[in-house]
Homo-oligomer: A and B are copies of this chain.
């Protein structure tokens, strides 16, 4: 049976719409009253797990799911050993550096040497500032990264920006874009290569559905 792992949160509605377009109905996951984390579609063709964003690649890496849908940002941050199959187009956002509007900084390169950058994306931040050859201290946070500059703990943040509302509400402005992100289709490399459960047919169907939607 085909197994798919889906991320909780912002990417879920579009992920479920895409799977529906290829005949797999997991819309139970969208019901706020649903508590199940594992369901089989009504035709008995495929099983889906619903997990935290960051856990999606883990389930695919370990082969517990053959396919997964996840943001490019997570792939860049965790660098999991999974096959990258398709850009699904939805979930557009960007990984950006932001600073206080009232600060003198208007670019990452303006930041002071050994300044602090708060981020949930420690690996991406490290990579970016290394590429600029700018030594900074990355402060790892789990949430509300915008509090870093507000409290004075850090000069800047690196975070995902979709509409920019959170930044504006907190008096922050974007200075640099590290990369753009969208949802991606990933697969367990061995399942993909061995084509278990006609995986390649499903991947083709999903690719076609994405092409039609675009």
CA distance A150 to B144 in the complex (A): 32
CA distance A132 to B36 in the complex (A): 34
What is the count of identical protomers in the complex?
A: 2
CB-CB < 8 A to A107: which residues of B? none
**In the complex, A152 has a CB within 8 A of chain B:** yes
Task: List residues of A (75-119) whose CB comes within 8 Å of B's CBs.
Answer: 116
**In the complex, A45 has a CB within 8 A of chain B:** no
Is there an interface contact between B151 and A38, defined as CB atoms closer than 8 Å? yes
**In the complex, A179 has a CB within 8 A of chain B:** no
CB-CB < 8 A to A49: which residues of B? 147, 151
Name A's interface SS: mixed
Is there an interface contact between A52 and B142, defined as CB atoms closer than 8 Å? yes
A61-83 Cβ-contact flags toward B at 8 Å (1 or 0): 01010000000000000000000
Contact flag A37-B139 (CB < 8 Å), given A64-B153, A153-B62? no
CB-CB < 8 A to A44: which residues of B? none
* A67 CB to nearest B CB, Å: 14
Q: Which of B37, B139, B141, B142 contacts A147 (CB 8 A)?
A: B37
Q: Can you give 14 contacting A-B residue pairs, CB < 8 Å?
A: A37-B147, A38-B150, A38-B151, A49-B147, A51-B143, A53-B142, A55-B142, A55-B143, A58-B139, A58-B140, A59-B153, A62-B116, A62-B153, A64-B152
